[in-house]
Structure 1
Amino acid sequence: MAGRPEGGVKERDMTHESTVSSADQMSPHPAVPRRGIWGWMLFDWAQQPFHTLIITFVFAPYFASAVAPDAARGQELWGLATGIGGLAIALSSPVLGAIADATGPRKPWILAFSLIGVLACASLWFAMPGAGHVGLVLIAVALAVFGMEFAAVFNNAMMPDLVPRSELGRLSGSAWGLGYLGGLVSLVLVLGFMSAQPETGRTLLGLEPIFGLDAGLREGDRASGPLTALWYLVFVLPMLLFTPDVARRKAATGAVREGMARLADTLKRLPRERSYFSFLLSSMFYRDALNALYAFGGIYAAGVLSWSITQIGLFGILANVTGALGAWLGGRMDRAFGPKLVVGVSIVVLTLCALLVISTTRDEILFLPLSGATSLPDIAFFVAGAFIGAAGGSIQAASRTLLVDQVPRPRVTEAFGLYALSGKATSFIGPFAIALATGYFASEAFGLSNEDAQRLGVTPILVLFLIGLALLPFVKSRHGEASAA
């Protein structure tokens, strides 16, 4: 097949488990210029503000507190919007990934989905407080999730063509760390210079918002959408310009048929490939739990602890700092001990943090009552956020490496498509479950407060983490082979 040499890649059909030959994983790599490596890493820097500003710390809490009728209803609607976006990815990513592997280049796919995500993010500026067009806002959020996360599928698939297997952990961890730093910088810009408290009209730094942004109309919070779009457009360019892509293998018309045939063959064999199949199932659950923890953490803090956008933003700054450190350290641990250990330890830490978050209110910590007014709930939430950031950065970086260990390089885009499918298969189930649980417990039949309904609504996160941890022992890593080479 015409295209970039794959260094003697060999594929084997296995009856009981998925294995990738050491010849495939340790085959010689063509030299990639340093600017190509940095261009690929900058994709995480470019995309992270979408997760930091839109999904977690600025726009999501703003939507729940000012656009939706109330915080509980906002949590429910946000779950529906992000769930629909995840469902669209789940239904299409394996097919498009298989087609991309057959055609070759990934950059055209990245560009196409990036445009969808950028336009959707920019449109969030029109999400006025108390406006009647909540449905349009939710459509924009769903499209933003669809475009941005689909672009990441194809960017991730470029990783094993850039460095040898032994360096994948460090590359992935460094890129995730750089992404967290990008999220941190963008969050400081929004909180320090754009987003102001409606009561004071001042930002976190005590300044009036730049560009004459109106605090009463929450223009600083709404501006997180256009800022995310502009940031992404600027910083994704080095990857598009300098990172090498695989050569075109065949015309798109023939590739569609071949891609579908490849995908059908993979799906037929997948249940017999125990390691690959177990990894997809395990990551499906623990990544969905992590995404739900990110997506609903700010909304939960706003509704249960009555945090302001400024407090949520400080929480986000802390989580991004520890996330950068965790991703960097996790990449080094990945290189030394392998990605499987990093993933397992991270799941345990995240489960404990989720339990701390769910059990914390103004009156309780770990479900134990507190006496009098105290700042202990805020401190507990900040501590949880620090560890969530560190463990979240580590687990996401190590997961990319562990997936590459399961497949040969010619099918890595298909694998990341299935990886997206396995994550999105529950990424819409998780938010939907939280939405349904929150709405159920907020109904008049239970007579619960909005605060208690929110607490009970996010408990599925704990179950998802534990299922992911239980499936991890069946996953194999090629770390030892790579280190011995």
Structure 2
Amino acid sequence: MAQTQEQDAGRKKTIRAWVMYDWANSAFSTTMVAAVLPIFFMSVPGKFVGDDAASYWGYTQSAAMLLLVLLSPILGAIADVSGSKKRLLGAFLALGVAATALYALVGEGQLWFAMALTLLGVLGHSGSLNFYDALLPGITKAEERDRVSAQGYAYGYLGGGILLAVNLMMIQQPEWFGITELTGIRLSFLSVAVWWALFSIPLFRRVPERRPAQAVAAGEAVKRAFVRLGGTLRNLRKYPELLKYLIAYWFFSDGIGTIIRMATVYGETIGIGTAHLIGALLITQFVGFPCAILFGRLAGRFGAKSSLYATLLVYVVITILGYFMTSALHFYLLAVMVGLVQGGSQALARSIYMRLIPVGREAEYFGFMSVWSKFAGVVGPAVFGYVNMIGNSRLGILALIFFFVAGIVMLRITNLEKGEREAASVAGA
């Protein structure tokens, strides 16, 4: 009995350490993707191109996603056959942290330097999440993954929100710190780099990695990765429900990702002030914390699929209202609505996917899912950037309805119970 209690206590510590990486990396999502950096990008490095800076921001996000499309499945397969999920997570973490810190050096008109750092930062952040997600099945029981996945997103909202609040004070009240507003922005970038690196330490210290029966050398791992990727593509026909879900995920993740990445620059183009933009996104973080946990519990009561439906329907309403948005008050209200469903939708999507993949190939299939989601991530920001450049960013927002509706339709025809049986039977064959 005492040994069992000790094991349970150790497992809880492991789960908390895993969750801390959500707390750590979400500082990048909030300050560098959603709130501070987009405004800085438009006003400092993009100063001399006017509102077209919003288009360059969108194109840079799309380019980063395209790189991840090419890299994710290969890296995921390498991680599975070489037992190097944590090592690869660390490499992408280091890339993202370095790019974030270097942003403090970007000056007026240095658009290409800013675009390069943005691309590297997004690559480091999103790449690390492939391996972070793939660690979860090895430390949790099947019945608790919905809850733990939601807990991770919840703590991500809280951690990202706390640092964003500090960053907002440095930017809006720089005299409190004896600095200028621009210096406050640059220090915000440095604070994200430090926060991300510091709070990642528990994961590397406490979270174990499920090792393959026989680890292989790097060169052999690369060779096997290409072979395995081809096998993944061929074997998808054995998982028809997984394939349906991947298509659904492709659509709705594009809508969610585009809202996250483009909301602030959209607000900037229609004349909403910087203080309101950052303040509203701060509200999103703190609304998102309890709501992500709530959706984890709702999934236990009503099912993950039904709960995910609810979040996607709210997003349809958000996109319609976003088209008609004209004031800061409207932006605040939409920020609250996004906070209600953003963490829940992402957590539920992650936990549903875990049910449909075979045991022992988690990183490979998370990498494959990443290809689909990142390829979708190429489309949304690029469409927004193009529409904005020809003069109508509102239509770019309205177009997102298609992605959410298509995702709902495909999710509707996906049978999760059948998909779990398919994964189990093929894995055990």
Query: TM-score when scaled to structure 2?
Result: 0.91
- Match 1:379 to one of 307, 316, 329: 329
Taking the aligned partners of 1:473 and 1:415, their CA distance within structure 2 comes to 22
Q: Does 1:343 align with 2:311?
A: no
> Is 2:263 the partner of 1:286?
no
C-alpha contact (below 8 Å) 1:360/1:380 kept by paired residues: yes
Shift of 1:70: 5.3
Equivalent position of 2:397 in the other structure: 458
Offset of 1:437 from its aligned partner?
1.4
Could you tell me which runs of 5 or more consecutive residues in structure 2 were left unpaired when the two chains were aligned: 1-6, 422-429
1:157 is paired with a residue whose SS is helix
Q: Does the 8 Å contact 2:276/2:328 carry over to 1? A: no
Are residues 338 and 105 of structure 1, via their aligned partners in 2, closer, same or farther at CA, if it must alter by over 3 Å? farther
Moved more, 424-433 or 337-346: 337-346
Alpha-carbon offset, residue 271 of structure 1: 4.2
Alignment of 1:65 with 2:29, yes or no, is no
Larger radius of gyration: 1
The answer to whether 1:270 aligns with 2:246 is: no
d(CA) in 1 for partners of 2:152, 2:367: 20
Matched, 1:317 2:282: yes
Cross-structure match for 1:419: 369
Match of 2:388 in 1: 438
Contact 1:284–1:422 under 8 Å retained in 2: yes
In structure 2, what is the Cα distance between the partners aligned to 1:209 and 1:312?
21
Structure 1 counterpart of 2:199: 235
Q: What letter corresponds to residue 184 of structure 2 in structure 1?
A: G
116 and 480 in structure 1: CA distance in 2 versus 1, 3 angstrom threshold: closer
CA contact under 8 A between 1:153 and 1:416: conserved in structure 2?
Answer: yes
Aligned amino acid, residue 96 of structure 2: G
Counterpart residue type for residue 311 of structure 2: S
Residue of structure 1 aligned with 2:268, choices 279, 302, 311: 302
Contact 2:77 2:225 in 1 (8 A): yes
Give the drift of 1:405: 0.8
Counterpart-to-counterpart distance in 1, 2:227 and 2:10: 31
CA distance in 2: counterparts of 1:385 and 1:271, whole angstroms: 40
Q: Distance in 1 between matches of 2:399 and 2:420?
A: 37
Residue number among 154, 167, 189 corresponding to 1:177 in the alignment: 154
Task: Output the CA distance in 2 between the equivalents of 1:120 and 1:241.
Answer: 24
1:195 lines up with 2:134 in the alignment: no
Residue 117 (structure 2) pairs with residue 140 (structure 1): yes
Tell me by how many angstroms 1:462 deviates: 1.9
In the alignment, does 2:196 pair up with 1:246? no
Answering whether residue 9 of structure 2 is matched by residue 43 of structure 1, we say no
Among 229, 236, 255, the alignment partner of 2:221 is 255
The residue correspondences of 1:9-28 to structure 2 (distance < 5 A) are: none
Superposition deviation, residue 409 in structure 1: 2.0
> Contact 1:274–1:474 (CA<8 Å) still a contact in 2?
no
Aligned-residue offset at 1:478: 4.5
In the other structure, the counterpart of 1:3 is none
In the aligned structure 2, how far is the partner of 1:397 from the partner of 1:153? Answer: 14
Alignment match, 1:393: 343
Give yes or no for contact 1:338–1:477 (8 Å, CA) kept in 2: no
Alpha-carbon distance change, 387 to 172 in structure 1, aligned in 2, over 3 angstroms:
same
Pair 95,474 (structure 1): closer, same or farther in 2 beyond 3 Å: farther
CA distance in 2, matches of 1:481, 1:416: 16
Q: Is the 8 A contact 1:167 1:335 kept in 2?
A: no
Q: Summarize the Cα distance change of 1:462–1:209 in structure 2 as closer, same or farther, 3 Å threshold.
A: farther
Instruction: Give the deviation of 1:461 after TM superposition.
Output: 1.8
Partner of 2:163: 186
1:59 touches 1:224 (CA, 8 Å); kept in 2? no
Runs of 4+ in 1 over 4 A off after TM superposition: 29-32, 478-482
Say which of 359, 370, 373 aligns to 1:409: 359
Deviates more, 1:429-438 or 1:258-267: 258-267
Match of 2:175 among 191, 208, 211: 208
Q: Distance in 2 between matches of 1:405 and 1:379?
A: 40
1:124 matched to 2:63? The reply is no
Instruction: Give the secondary structure class of the aligned counterpart of 2:361.
Output: helix
One-letter code aligned to 1:436:
Y
> For 1:76 and 1:268, how far apart are their aligned partners in 2?
37
- Provide the alpha-carbon RMSD of the alignment: 2.1
SS in 1 for 2:51: helix
Q: Could you say which residue in structure 2 is the equivalent of 1:151?
A: 128
* Alignment-derived partner of residue 63 in structure 2: 84
Task: Give the Cα separation in 2 of the matches to 1:470 and 1:480.
Answer: 17
SS for the counterpart of 2:175 is coil
CA distance in 2, matches of 1:409, 1:157: 11
Q: TM-score, normalised by structure 1?
A: 0.81
User: In the superposition, relative to structure 1, how do residues 140 and 30 fare at CA in structure 2: closer, same or farther (>3 Å)?
Assistant: same
Q: In the alignment, what sits opposite 1:161? A: 138
What is the letter of the counterpart of residue 191 of structure 1? L
Return closer, same or farther for 1:60/1:127 CA change in 2, 3 Å cut-off: same
Q: Which amino acid aligns with 2:132?
A: N
Distance 1:224 1:478, change over 3 A: farther
**Cα distance between partner residues in 2 of 1:113 and 1:414:** 17
Alpha-carbon deviation of 1:432?
1.2
Aligned to 2:427: none
Greater shift in the superposed pair: 135-144 or 61-70 = 61-70
Whole-Å Cα distance in 1 between the matches of residues 400 and 179 of structure 2? Answer: 37
Amino acid across the alignment from 2:258:
A
> How many equivalent residue pairs?
412
Superposed CA offset, 1:358-396 (max 9, x none): 2112xxxxxxxxxxxxxxx33332121111112111000
User: 1:481, CA displacement in angstroms?
Assistant: 8.4
Query: Deviation per CA, 1:9-64, whole angstroms, max 9, x where unpaired?
Result: xxxxxxxxxxxxxxxxxxxx999532211110000000001110011111112212
Distance 1:32 1:93, change over 3 A: farther
Indicate conservation of the 8 Å contact 1:338/1:479, yes or no. no
Q: How far 1:272 moved relative to its partner?
A: 5.1
* Alignment match, 2:3: none
Q: Distance in 2 between matches of 1:289 and 1:279?
A: 16
Question: Which has the larger share of helix?
Answer: 2
